Amino acid sequence: MKRIAATIAFVAFTASCSAEVSIGTSDDFDSEVAAGLVNDEFEDLLELGPLETRCAVPNDLVEGDVFTCTSETTDGDVIQWSAVATSDNGADIVSLNLLNEEAVQQLEAAVVDALAAEGLPVVVDDIDCGAGWLVLSTDGEAVCGLTDTSTGDVYDTTITILDMENLRFDVVIAETPR
């Protein structure tokens, strides 16, 4: 198993998913309504299938209150959301562990750069973290495939995001292929 630690300035990497949602009166805004808003706002956009969302909205919600939601995808991935109540009886909602396709491509390139700096002969086409949105685990991990072009073998490569803002991450490559 090879472990690589890297820090790369990477401002565009924090491309998560966010929305501003609003409903009627404050009496209507509870955990069930918040979960429905998350599902309505993000299911089609993310293309991860139906979401099973749960929110923990405090009683007597007022502007500035923070609450959290989690959404489980059909693949069993868990998306974490943070929300702040707004003055218009709504909430600003942002994902905490979701990367869009552009951010995934940037992550793959940064991982390749870190591996190349360690002397591994890799190029961007050698690593595959999937297409579209990427849900990091609750520990900030993603498992990608790293192909050894000389053999065609694919190795699980665990990328752990340590600092999303500055893109500090660890990379661990499995010793044996899939």
- pTM score, whole prediction: 0.80
Say which residue the tokens 């490569």 belong to. Answer: 157
Residues linked to residue 144 through DSSP beta bridges, in sequence order: 157
Q: Is residue 178 part of a domain?
A: no
115-167 pLDDT tens trace: 998 888 899 999 999 988 999 998 899 999 999 999 999 999 999 988 877 77
Question: What's the alpha-carbon Rg for the chain, to the nearest Å?
Answer: 19
The answer to whether residue 102 scores a pLDDT higher than 50 is yes
**Predicted pLDDT of residue 19:** 59
pLDDT of amino acid 152: 94
Last residue of a domain, one of 95, 115, 132: 95
Assess whether 71 and 103 both reside in one domain: no
The residue among 36, 22, 16, 165 whose CA lies nearest residue 95 is: 16
Residues 91 and 109 occupy one common structural domain: no
Query: 115 and 67, same structural domain?
Result: no
> Are 115 and 151 found together in one domain?
yes
Is the pLDDT at 10 greater than 80? The verdict is no
Q: What is the 3-state secondary structure (H, E, C) of 19-52?
A: EEEECCCHHHCCHHHHHHHHHHHHHHHHCCCCCE
Which range has highest mean pLDDT (2-16, 26-40, 64-78)?
64-78
Please tell me which residue, 66 or 62, carries the higher pLDDT value. 66
79 and 118 both lie in a single domain: no
What band does 67 get if pLDDT is binned at 50, 70 and 90? very high
**Which structural domain range is residue 112 located in?**
2-13+99-173
Per-residue pLDDT at 7 exceeds 70: no
Final residue of a domain: which of 64, 95, 126? 95
User: For residue 49, is it within any domain?
Assistant: yes
Chosen domain end from 62, 95, 128: 95
